[in-house]
Amino acid sequence: MGRITMPQPPLLAHDLVRTLGSRRVLDGVSLVASPGHRIGLIGENGVGKSTLLRLLSGVDEPDAGRVERPADLGFLHQEMPFDAEAAIADVLDDALREAREDLVELERLSEELARTPQDSPAYAALLEAYGGRLERAEEREAWDADRRAALVLDGLGLGTLANDRTLGSLSGGQRGRLALAALLVRRPSALLLDEPTNHLDDDAAAFLEEQVRGLPGVVVLASHDRAFLDAVCTDLIDLDPAVDGPVRYGGNYSAYLSEKNAERERWERRYAEEQQELAALRYSAAVTAHVVAPNRERRDNEKMGYGHRGGRVQNQISRRVRNATRRLEELGRTQAGAPPAPLRFQHAALAKESADGTLVALRDARVPGRLAVGHLDVSATERLLVTGGNGAGKSTLLTVLAGRIAAQGEVRRRRGLTVGLLAQDSVFDRPERTVRDTYELSLGAERAEAVPLDSLGLMHEADLDKAVGHLSVGQRRRLALALLVAHPPALLLLDEPTNHLSPRLCDELEEALGTGPGTIVVASHDRWLRKRWQGRELRLAPC
């Protein structure tokens, strides 16, 4: 008779409420995460993705609601219980401890079973304990744990580090990857990940995708990495505010995009149909009623029979007017709002200075230790993607093209060229000004009125009256991007533009880049953006 396999426990959240300060971040959120499901949390910054993960992990407690979690749960953003003097070997030993304990216990139970007669009352209990421990060891791949640990370290770019290296000697990115490696080696029943692809290059991210797909238990993750969401997730939960709360979508990111596009089409179609019906009802209630009004002068061919049937006609007209008015009132309460306009660069703002020719030309351009470019022409209306590993000089190239730093060699720039640069850390001259005032004063009142900041979807309404100096790095970059979108230059330079944006806004920005005015140069690590790029690509090598 075969051993009965006990199913792994799910991760359950019931009506979670969490208030931070005066803001209710989560309001009655529920979640069912069954083994084998890998659920991605998406939505705008501040919508509660990290907050939800902390509640699911038990690091924070909800103000209301409850969580049922497997005892064997791993959370990436928990601090590793080691001080700076601990070695990599100590972290690995802790990650392998449960698998090694399983093997020791299996050996003990096996020996005890061999000594116990099968007709002994203790034999059945020993056999059950052995079966449960064997199942857990198989799930953790305990016999292969040490080899797997070495494989994971290598896959995450840590294979060349000596095991006696102390944590204090590692960079922040290396410590983050080590924490991730420890969780993958442990193979917990439930795994919670917050932005797990941060600090990972393409190869390490692809390795992580393969590892996560191979986990048998529950995975819940928050990520802005659309390529990761597409490769890993079986479900996505959109935490952006909606009438009925968070919406769960089956499938990966591509499936989510298809469904969101279909939703948008249904919304646009309903809005158009309702606007058409509203126009017809207003005509029926006003114009038609006026045409057959009692005081209208009757034509000759109406006069003979009008007295006989006039009352009946008026009753019919009155009924139609009442019905139209009633339907107008009903539609006024239930009609769909206009779908928000997607993020788009404002073409009308661009001067006709970049119609043809080359805007910037580089010949043997060098910034010692940071950049070396032999030959580069950036032509009008071009779309250029700059790629390369860390230290290859992507940001430096953009600042050279912008004229922010001088380069050795030859740099020719078209006279009068307008240039805009979205840097990775945006700085504003007057940090005491509000977001609203900064936007209006930077663009001018007329342009700011023509392109309202809140119409771009880049800043939350609650942040518009904050001082710019009180914004986070991501919020400052969104404001800087808003200024460039509202008044695009002839040469637009974007350094990692999808950082700090929700997946939805990243998709809108990518589409806007394809149809936007002028010349656009983008430096990006974003795998989803790079895979879908339609223009030219320049790959830089470390100098």
| Confidence band, pLDDT 50/70/90 cuts, at residue 533 | very high
Q: What average pLDDT does range 329-350 have in this prediction?
A: 76
The terminus-to-terminus CA distance of the chain in angstroms comes to 66
Q: Is 296 exposed, middle or buried (0-12, 13-18, 19+ CB in 10 A)?
A: exposed
Q: In this predicted structure, what is the pLDDT of residue 398? A: 97
Which contacts of 169-176 are long-range, i.e. CB under 8 A and separated by 24 or more positions? 172/199, 173/198, 173/199, 174/199, 175/80
Q: In this predicted structure, what is the pLDDT of residue 425? A: 85
Q: Classify the phi-psi angles of 15: left when phi > 0, otherwise alpha if psi is within -120 to 50, otherwise beta.
A: left
- Residue 350 confidence (pLDDT) above 60: no
Q: In this predicted structure, what is the pLDDT of residue 131? A: 83
Q: What is the largest CA-CA distance in the chain?
A: 118
220 DSSP β-pair partners: 39, 192
Q: Tens of pLDDT along 120-136?
A: 888 888 888 888 778 77
- Residue 71 confidence (pLDDT) above 70: yes
Q: In this predicted structure, what is the pLDDT of residue 314? A: 59
The Cα 95–Cα 184 span in angstroms is 9
Between CA 320 and CA 325, with CA 321 as vertex, the angle to 5 degrees is 115
Q: Where are the beta strands (DSSP E) in 43-157?
A: 64-68, 73-75
Which contacts of 27-31 are long-range, i.e. CB under 8 A and separated by 24 or more positions? 27/245, 28/65, 28/245, 29/65, 29/239, 29/245, 29/246, 30/65, 31/56, 31/220, 31/237
Q: Is 156 exposed, middle or buried (0-12, 13-18, 19+ CB in 10 A)?
A: buried
| Confidence band, pLDDT 50/70/90 cuts, at residue 260 | very high
Report the mean per-residue pLDDT for the chain: 87
> How many of the other CB atoms lie within 10 Å of CB of 438?
25
CA atoms within 13 A on the CB side of 108: 8
Residues, the chain: 543
- Contacts with 261 (C-beta within 8 Å, 6 or more apart), sequence order: none
The alpha carbon of residue 220 and the mean position of all alpha carbons in its chain are separated, in whole angstroms, by: 14
Q: Is 78 exposed, middle or buried (0-12, 13-18, 19+ CB in 10 A)?
A: middle
Q: Tens of pLDDT along 8-50?
A: 789 999 999 999 988 899 999 999 999 999 999 999 888 999 9
- Residue 482 confidence (pLDDT) above 80: yes
Q: In this predicted structure, what is the pLDDT of residue 289? A: 56
Q: In this predicted structure, what is the pLDDT of residue 112? A: 79
Query: Would the CATH topology of 9-71+189-251 be identical to that of 347-539?
Result: yes
Report residue 190 as tokens.
Answer: 């439930």
Report residue 459 as tokens.
Answer: 């800043």
The Cα 130–Cα 115 span in angstroms is 14
The Cα 193–Cα 155 span in angstroms is 18
The Cα 196–Cα 330 span in angstroms is 48
Residue 87 DSSP code: B
Q: In this predicted structure, what is the pLDDT of residue 18? A: 96
How does DSSP assign 32-75, residue by residue?
EE-TT-EEEEE-STTSSHHHHHHHHHTSS--SEEEEE--SSEEE
Residue 171 parent element (H or E):
none
- Residue 316 confidence (pLDDT) above 90: no
Higher pLDDT, 113 or 417: 417
Q: Classify the phi-psi angles of 403: left when phi > 0, otherwise alpha if psi is within -120 to 50, otherwise beta.
A: left
| Confidence band, pLDDT 50/70/90 cuts, at residue 1 | very low
Q: In this predicted structure, what is the pLDDT of residue 307? A: 52
- Residue 333 confidence (pLDDT) above 70: yes
CA atoms within 13 A on the CB side of 290: 6
User: What's the CA dihedral at 383, 389, 393, 398 to 10 degrees?
Assistant: 30
- CATH architecture under which domain 9-71+189-251 falls: 3-Layer(aba) Sandwich (3.40)
Q: Is 104 exposed, middle or buried (0-12, 13-18, 19+ CB in 10 A)?
A: exposed
The Cα 308–Cα 422 span in angstroms is 78
Q: Is 31 exposed, middle or buried (0-12, 13-18, 19+ CB in 10 A)?
A: buried
Which contacts of 134-141 are long-range, i.e. CB under 8 A and separated by 24 or more positions? 134/3, 134/106, 135/3, 135/5, 135/6, 136/102, 137/99, 137/102, 137/103, 137/106, 139/8, 139/187, 139/189, 139/216, 139/217, 140/98, 140/99, 140/102, 140/186, 140/187, 141/99, 141/187
Q: In this predicted structure, what is the pLDDT of residue 470? A: 93
3-state class of 303 per DSSP? helix
| Confidence band, pLDDT 50/70/90 cuts, at residue 2 | very low
Report residue 424 as tokens.
Answer: 């990775």
- Contacts with 513 (C-beta within 8 Å, 6 or more apart), sequence order: 383, 494, 520, 522
What is the pTM (predicted TM-score) of this model?
Answer: 0.84
| Confidence band, pLDDT 50/70/90 cuts, at residue 417 | very high
Q: Tens of pLDDT along 166-188?
A: 999 998 889 999 999 999 988 88
Report residue 489 as tokens.
Answer: 């230059």
| Confidence band, pLDDT 50/70/90 cuts, at residue 309 | low
Among 423, 509, 433, 438, which residue's Cα sits nearest to residue 473? 423
Report residue 244 as tokens.
Answer: 């009925």
Superfamily the domain 347-539 falls into: P-loop containing nucleotide triphosphate hydrolases (3.40.50.300)
Domain ranges of the chain: 9-71+189-251, 80-186, 262-294+311-339, 347-539
